[in-house]
Each structure stands twice: as structure tokens, then as C-alpha cells.
Amino acid sequence: MKKAAFFDRDGTLIKDVSYLSCISDVELLPGAIDLCLRLQAENYLLFVVTNQSGIGRGLLDHDFVEKTHQYLGRLFADNGVVFTQFYYCPHHPSQNCLCRKPSPGMLAQASREHNLDLTRSLMFGDRESDVRAGVTAGCKSFYITKVLENL
């Protein structure tokens, strides 16, 4: 089984602009590339797991979120970082889905689809919901600011 490093997207890899709706607003956060490179060198598969309730709220559509992830994938690839897959929850919080963090659904899905050992995997995020999703999934989980302070 492989080990994974899961990343929240907004506020962790890129600046959180609250319902990103324009690709030109994508801004990499300092340290994100370096952290990804280090984890990749330690044989972690990299994944993004992001709540995109803007879809459920009618502010964004699937096509935009998928285009954003293709763009982000290229941006990271230009810096030598390969994300294995991007997962996103499109639901409104009132839908009580199983994928919206702090539920661990996206991590569990990635584990099934990519044969991951979650107990050897890591989760990085900027909010408590990220850390709770990671812990519930069985991953060691970290607030990104604390990790970057210590890089």
C-alpha cells in the first residue's frame, strides 16, 4: 500500500479568496511547492481534497472547478510537483453529504481508488475541519502554518 499526503486547497496551497471564481485569482502560497517537493521525495502520493460548496450555493459550476484544478495541476507540474488526483465536495452544507470536510469521505475515496494506507498518510490544512477530516480518516494531521514555520 502507498502513503499519501492530502492537501486542502484554499488557504493551504493557494490564497483563500472565498469562492474562487476567476482563474487569474489563483495565487500560490509561499512554501507550498517546497513542502510538496519534500513529501514527493519521501514517496508520498499527493492529493488535493477541497470543499467547493460554491457549486451547491450556485456560485460556481463543476466545469470551472475542474478547469481550475487542471490549471493548478499544470502550475505545480511546472515546479516538479505531481498531484495524483484532485477531489472536491460540490455540496451545500445543508445536504449533509459524506464528502464535505470535516467528514473523511474524500480521503476514504482516495484510499479505495489508490490503495492508500491512511495510517501512514498525512493531511495538511488551514482549518479545524481539515484536521478533523484527517484525524477521523486515521492520518497524521497538521495546520499548514505550523508546518511551514518549521520547514
- Footprint of Mg ion on this chain (CB under 5 A)? 8, 10-11, 126
d(CA 128, CA 120): 20
Q: Tell me which stretch binds Zn ion (CB under 5 A): 5-13, 98-106, 108-116, 135-143.
A: 98-106
Would residue 126 show up in a list of annotated catalytic residues for this protein?
no
The active-site residue, picked from 8, 61, 63, 126, is 8
Q: How many CB atoms lie within 10 A of CB 127?
A: 18
Q: How many angstroms separate the Cα of 31 from the Cα of each of 24, 41, 150?
A: 20, 15, 11
- Among 32, 36, 76, 100, indicate the residue that binds Zn ion (CB under 5 A): 100
Residue 1 vs 98, nearer CB to Zn ion: 98
For residue 72, the partner it binds in Zn ion, Mg ion, none, with Cβ less than 5 to 8 A by kind, is none
**Residue 49 binds to Zn ion (criterion: CB under 5 A):** no
Would residue 8 show up in a list of annotated catalytic residues for this protein?
yes
Q: Find the helix or strand (DSSP H, E) in which 55 lies.
A: helix 53-56
**Residue 99 binds to Zn ion (criterion: CB under 5 A):** yes
Q: How many angstroms separate the Cα of 113 from the Cα of each of 28, 34, 39, 84, 86?
A: 27, 26, 20, 11, 12
d(CA 132, CA 126): 11
d(CA 50, CA 99): 9
**Rounded to the nearest whole angstrom, what is the least distance from the CB of residue 22 to Mg ion in the complex?**
18
**Rounded to the nearest whole angstrom, what is the least distance from the CB of residue 16 to Mg ion in the complex?**
6
Q: Tell me which stretch binds Zn ion (CB under 5 A): 15-23, 39-47, 89-97, 116-124.
A: 89-97
Residues in the site for Zn ion, rule: CB under 5 A?
89, 91, 97, 99-100
